[in-house]
Amino acid sequence: MLDAIRDGAPISRAEISRRSGISKPTVSLALQSLLDAQLVREATERPDGPGYGAVYFEPVPDAALVLGLDVGARFVRGAVCDLAGTIRARQDVELPVAAVPDAVAAIERLRSSLFAASGLDPERVDGIVVGVPGVVESETGVLRLAENVAGLEGRAFADELQSALDLTVTLENDINLAALGEQWHGVAQGVDDFVFLSIGTGMGAGLVLRGDLHRGRHGAAGEIDFALVGVDQRLDPSGPEIAQLATRFAARQADARAVFAAARNGDENARAVVGEIARRIALHLAPIASVADVELIVLGGGIGANGDLLLDPIGRLLREWLPFPPRLEVSTLGDAAVLTGALAVGLQAALENVFARRPSLTA
């Protein structure tokens, strides 16, 4: 019934009965339980058309709340959303030092300021979902390959946050969450098989197959840095490599941003660097596309966001190499992709848990 109300609000008793297949007397009894539990309320607005005096109902969006966090090397991003998926507050906090104690302190401050800004009751938080750089081992929850934040490697970070915040904490790889963010509110909506590839100071991928995130046996699916290990040439397309390529092609020092800006202005040496980066990205994507046969590849991260320069050469190479090349798009969420994915994961859990937090439903 609650699903029917969420999908059809504002909705009458008769329509709830029709959609759920539950008799009207049972609908009335259950509706009273939902009203008593403050999960549903009478709607303030009626649908268009004749209502014939019917009472309409809608879900209470702040019956439960979700806190999403994105922990990076230089920042912690946070947002709180309600059961309708509406973001009620969002803030970013800079990290003076990329180390675990500073990150935990920033998260505690961020939680307080988010609820102060939103005016929402922090007691209604169902859980916290945190995106982190690194592999979250599926069996132990220990972080591996977590090099961007000092002290994360080998740490059960979720347990520490749970003790500090006194709330249930779910830890997930940040690029996995970015993929789920694109699936929820980005360019991958309605796509069941796709890859989110993030290229910035490092590189990682999130793989969604048959509509679900694919984590792999150890939680390490998408560690694309190892896809071409053993190949006897440099194929890394991330930011530090661009600086080296600029030196090689143009005999000058330049960071990634400067190289892409120069390429847009027609600099031939910069265009050569961008062409090499596109080739390296395509080389990493071809094995995934050929093995998983995905429909879509979404490029994100600071480097991947340069779709105006990268999409055509990458697509041209994939069409040349593969019998069934995937479609290429640039992330529409940008630096909010991880945070959006964290909220999506938390929201799904909150919708499933909401009954357990309302004792009057089972009294």
SS (H, E, C) 290-319: HHHCCCEEEEEHHHHCCHHHHHHHHHHHHH
pTM: 0.90
Q: Tell me: pLDDT of 133 over 80.
A: yes
Taking the alpha carbons at both ends of the chain, their separation in whole angstroms is 18
pLDDT band at residue 249 under the 50/70/90 scheme? confident
pLDDT beyond 60 at 363: no
* 189-332 and 64-179+337-353 share a CATH fold: yes
| Yes or no: domain 2-59 corresponds to CATH 1.10.10.410 | no
- Nearest by Cα to 333 from 202, 237, 196: 196
Domain boundaries, the chain: 2-59, 64-179+337-353, 189-332
- Mean local confidence (pLDDT), 195-199: 97
Question: For the residues 34-58, what does the mean pLDDT come to?
Answer: 80
Q: What is the CATH number of domain 64-179+337-353?
A: 3.30.420.40
Residues 219-233 have a mean pLDDT of 88
State in words which class domain 189-332 has. Answer: alpha beta
Give whole-number Cα distances, 355 to 10, 43, 79, 221, 342, in Å. 21, 21, 23, 33, 21
Residue type, 172: E
If one compares 68 and 45, the residue with the highest pLDDT of the two is: 68
**Residue whose token pair is 């339980």:** 33
Q: Which residue has the tokens 């190499």?
A: 321
pLDDT above 80: residue 356: no
Mean pLDDT of the chain: 91
DSSP 8-state assignment for residue 87: E
With a cut of 60, say whether residue 330 has pLDDT above it.
Answer: yes
